[in-house]
Amino acid sequence: GPEEKRSRLEAEALQEALTLSTEAYEDEQRKNSVNSFDELVAALKEFQVPDFWTKLVTDKQVLFLNFAPRDAPVVRYSVTVSSDLSLKAFFGDLQLDKVGLLIFPMCVSDIREQEKALEAVHGFAKNSPNDQQRLEIVLKKTVAILEELSSENFPHEWQMEIVNFLMQQVHMLLSKSPNYPTDLLVFSSLVFTISPHAYRFIRSTSKLKLPHPDTIRRVCASYNVNPCTEQGTLFLSYAKRLAAAMNNHEKTVTLIMDEIHLQPYLDYKGGTVVGMATNTTIAAKTAYVFMIQSLLSASKDVVHILPVAQIDAKQLHEFLRQLINELEKTGLRIIAVVSDNNSINGKAMSFFSQPPKVNTVYQHPSDQSRSLFFILDTVHVLKCVRNNWLNQRNSSKCMFFPDINAAGDQPHVLTASFNALVELHERERNELVRLAPTLCLKALKPSSLERQNVKLVLKIFNILTVAALRSTKAATLQHAKSTAEFINNIVMWWSIVNVKTPNKGRRLRDKLQEPITVVSCPQMDFLNKVVKWLDYWKSLKHDAGHLTNETHNALRHTSLALVQVSRYCIQELGFKYVLLGKFQSDCLEDRFGRYRQLCGAQYHISIRQIYESEHKLRLQNVLELPEFDDISLCARTDVVNAAVEQFDVEVTAVDVEKKEHMLLAITYVAGYCAHAALKKLMCPFCKENLVVDNRSLEIEAEELIAGVTRGELKFPQAVVVNAVLTMNIVLEKLSSEMYALKFYSCEKQKDLLVSLTTPLVEYNEDLDVCENGHLPHVVMGYVLSAAANTLLNNLCKRENNMLAEAKAAKRKLKTLQA
């Protein structure tokens, strides 16, 4: 019927359509099919390339390139098809792994696959720069560039460190859960232990990708270096690890012990109660801290902290013996114990001999064939000598001592007057430049706390003080010469015993400050002379004007012990040199200062705070960083123009006459100013204009320089002395009542001082353009700059002294009124 016919015709039409469609598909497949590189090249002749791409055909490759719109052609994107029909996509020189749904590299078997790849890369290029995939590709390209850069040879190591650091930061941007590199983790831990607040601030700025503080705490907790845990089974665990990491030559050490006062306080934290003394059931009042210091390296560290409430000499001796024996088992070689002059320390050491007696050397507790020396801290002895002199009750606070340089068995007895120093300071207390610049009110009249400051002691026992007392200007002072002799004896002794570096003597041009290399040398001879000097002094049996028995014995004991230990190190241990500055407790006192600073600059701290502070310091020592050079960044500041018009300052002949008595000190300062200017200029021709070489005639104004020079101090020309003298007068007038308010309110007092002084100094006749082209005003500018620094610094010191005197007078008046 009709319906059957219609169905049959539709089926035939459908079959014909399917046949045509199949033939068309097969024809299209044959047309676009690519089976070889030659077929690909032939097919590309009819391929319409979009304007985005530039086609380039070679014998082995087909390149589709997109160039960045720049003057120099730079390929931004590229798609390549090699001879094996492998298709790759690139962003710059970075190969892309995936673009959209396409995975690269891919094999081209159809020309349309290449068209899809080109469209995908084109679409990727048109996407927003904030696209995550594009960002990841750019970061990978950055890493590739930095890796290539890190393989280059940089002239400085710090440049390589910066490149590696940048590469680490970019790597962590690519990672969702970053794995921190070891050196970055170490660096972060060090910064965090030094200042947690600063570390948190750095992280909060988002300038760097750094580990979270909790991560650092977990890392630091893995290092079991907390001294709190070493009171029991882990005794000396840190010292054992320390000794294992030391080189053999570093293991010859001294054991330094000292006590630090504590705030009696019990503390519960982290499951532990801390604060009890180890030898009693009451809270600890002091802590004995034991430190080892290598004699042949800079290595030094605290090995144990012993909190006690009260301890006797026998208990201290037993612990000291145990400590030495355990340290010897770690491989360390302890040759000396260093402590202050506290009587309990001497009694504890005396038990190393039978019967107990305080000696300079004992048999070693761990090896009877070896020696163990007992040395009193030279810094403590020096402070005791100053305190003994200061505490003299006789007239003028005099010390009566034998002449150390006199020949014969009965040397003359000389007198050292402390009041001579006070009078010398009083004469020039209001001067900006002085004969004895180190003398100050705090050094001459220290408080109880200031007596502990060795820097103030060295302001008295100073070579400049000796030179000032020996000068003609101080000749009218009673006992000036003999006082200079006494101070000089102590200065020479201190110069010998305070050598901590091998090159100190060479740097300071002082043979006494060179290391001891042979048994017979000037340093050893002088120490032996000091021992004989002290023996004769004691035989005089003066009722007053002498050292106390404790200080006298300590000075003799230390001098003799240093001679013996030097001989032992050179002859028995084979040392090439001995640094006597290693036999003192400065490093341990510095440790105490760091404890207090880490605890918020408190003086009385608890044992918990000491443990935590030492834990931080140990972590900084345990965590190792790659070495890198320091980078000094010099910021150039704009010079503020001084308001010169506000000041009408003149220098008259009368002003110069008033400063004639200070010409010695002014000439000395002028020599330094010439030296500072020559360091800037580095010019031999300018040197002839500023200083005098090979001074053969003695001039009174240069007496102070001649008294302290060792060959390198500068004798200034008259033009330099005149410049310093003029600036001194100008500054005196600026700080007077007339101008003081305006002067101190200025922003840049140095610039103002130089600006006012420059036109008053007549230097054009003495200075001319040198052969290197240095102009006179440039040379004089360097001289005046150094002079301004010195004079303004001295001005501040003078004002501070006056404030201290006023405060002391007010306190005294208040006491009298009460």
Q: What is the 3-state secondary structure (H, E, C) of 561-598?
A: HHHHHHHHHHHHCCCCCECHHHCCCHHHHHHHHHHHHH
CA distance 347 to 351: 7
Q: In this structure, is the dihedral angle defined by the CA atoms of residues 409, 414, 418 and 422, taken in order, positive or negative?
A: negative
In whole angstroms, what is the distance from residue 249 CA to residue 472 CA?
Answer: 51
Mean pLDDT of 415-421: 94
Lowest mean pLDDT among 171-185, 389-403, 701-715, 773-787: 701-715
For the four alpha carbons of 442, 446, 451 and 457, in that order, the dihedral sign comes to positive
- The yes-or-no verdict on residue 470 having pLDDT over 50 is yes
Q: Share the mean pLDDT of the chain.
A: 86
Distance, in Å, from the CA atom of 282 to the CA atom of 221, rounded to the nearest integer, reads 30
Collapsed DSSP state (helix, strand, coil) of residue 430: coil
d(CA 150, CA 144): 10
220 or 636, which is more confident: 220
- The string of DSSP codes covering 698-735 is --GGGHHHHHH-SS---EE-HHHHHHHHHHHHHHHHHT
Beta-sheet pairing, 333-339 with 367-376: parallel
**pLDDT top residue among 244 and 177:** 244
Q: What is the mean pLDDT of residues 566-574?
A: 95
Kindly give, in sequence order, each residue whose CB lies less than 8 Å from that of residue 421, ignoring residues fewer than 6 positions away: 436, 439, 444, 460, 465, 483
- Res 674 pLDDT > 60: yes
Whether the ω angle into residue 105 lies within 30 degrees of 0, i.e. cis, is yes
- In the block, which residue shows the tokens 């001039």? 699
Q: Token pair for residue 171?
A: 């790597």
pLDDT digits (tens, 9 = 90+) for 52-91: 889 888 888 999 999 888 788 888 889 999 988 999 998 8
Rounded-to-integer distance, Cα 114 and Cα 81, Å: 9
521 class by beta-carbon count within 10 Å (0-12 exposed, 13-18 middle, 19+ buried): middle
What mean pLDDT do residues 287-294 have?
Answer: 96
Query: What span, in angstroms and rounded, lies between the C-alpha atoms of 130 and 133?
Result: 9
Residue 373 scores a pLDDT above 50: yes
User: Within the chain, what is the greatest distance between any pair of CA atoms?
Assistant: 160
pLDDT digits (tens, 9 = 90+) for 599-638: 888 888 999 899 989 998 888 888 764 443 333 333 333 4
Q: What is the pLDDT of residue 636?
A: 31
CB count within 10 Å of CB 816 equals 7
Alpha carbons 573 and 333: distance in angstroms, whole number: 11
Taking Cα atoms as reference points, which of 472, 470, 499, 503 lies closest to residue 486?
Answer: 470
State how far the Cα of 448 lies from the Cα of 454, in Å rounded to an integer: 13
Q: Tokens standing for 647?
A: 């000041």
Considering 22-31, 199-208, 382-391, 760-769, the range whose residues carry the highest mean pLDDT is 382-391
For 222-231, 409-418, 511-520, which range has the lowest pLDDT when averaged over its residues? 222-231
The pLDDT of residue 632: 35
Quote the CA–CA distance of 21 and 19 in Å, as a whole number.
5
- Could you give the CA distance from residue 385 to residue 494 in angstroms, rounded to a whole number? 12
CA 65/CA 42 separation, integer angstroms: 19
- Which of 274-288, 419-433, 484-498, 700-714: highest mean pLDDT? 484-498
Mean per-residue pLDDT for 517-543? 92
Measured over the CA atoms of residue 696, residue 702, residue 707 and residue 708, the dihedral's sign is negative
Helix intervals (H) in 353-461: 378-390, 418-427, 441-444, 454-460
What is the percentage of the chain residues whose pLDDT exceeds 90? 41
Q: What is the pLDDT of residue 685?
A: 87
Asked if residues 797 and 431 have their Cβ atoms less than 8 Å apart, the reply is: no
- pLDDT tens digits, one per residue of 302-336: 999 999 988 999 999 999 999 999 999 999 999 99
Judged by phi (left if over 0) then psi (alpha if -120 to 50, else beta), residue 206 lies in left
Q: End-to-end CA distance of the chain, in Å?
A: 143
Residues paired with residue 417 on neighbouring β-strands, in sequence order: 398
Query: Which one is predicted more confidently, 209 or 176?
Result: 209
Q: Which range, 45-49, 286-290, 471-475, has the best average confidence (pLDDT)?
A: 286-290
Look at residue 694 in the predicted model and tell me its pLDDT: 62
pLDDT at residue 422 above 70? yes
**Which pLDDT does position 698 carry in this prediction?**
59
Q: Which helix (H) or strand (E) holds 750?
A: helix 749-757
Contact call for residues 303 and 290 (beta carbons, < 8 A): yes
Q: Is the pLDDT of residue 346 over 70?
A: yes
Query: What is the percent of the chain with per-residue pLDDT over 70, rounded to a whole number?
Result: 94
Backbone angles phi, psi at 443, to 5 degrees: -75, -35
pLDDT at site 624: 66
Higher-pLDDT residue of 472, 351: 351
**Does 612 or 709 have the greater pLDDT score?**
612
Structure-token match 């010169």, residue found: 644
pTM here is 0.75
User: At CB < 8 A and 24+ separation, what contacts does 482-488 make?
Assistant: 482/414, 482/415, 482/416, 482/417, 483/415, 483/416, 483/417, 483/418, 483/420, 483/421, 485/403, 485/404, 485/414, 485/416, 486/399, 486/401, 486/414, 486/416, 487/416, 487/460, 487/461, 487/462, 488/463
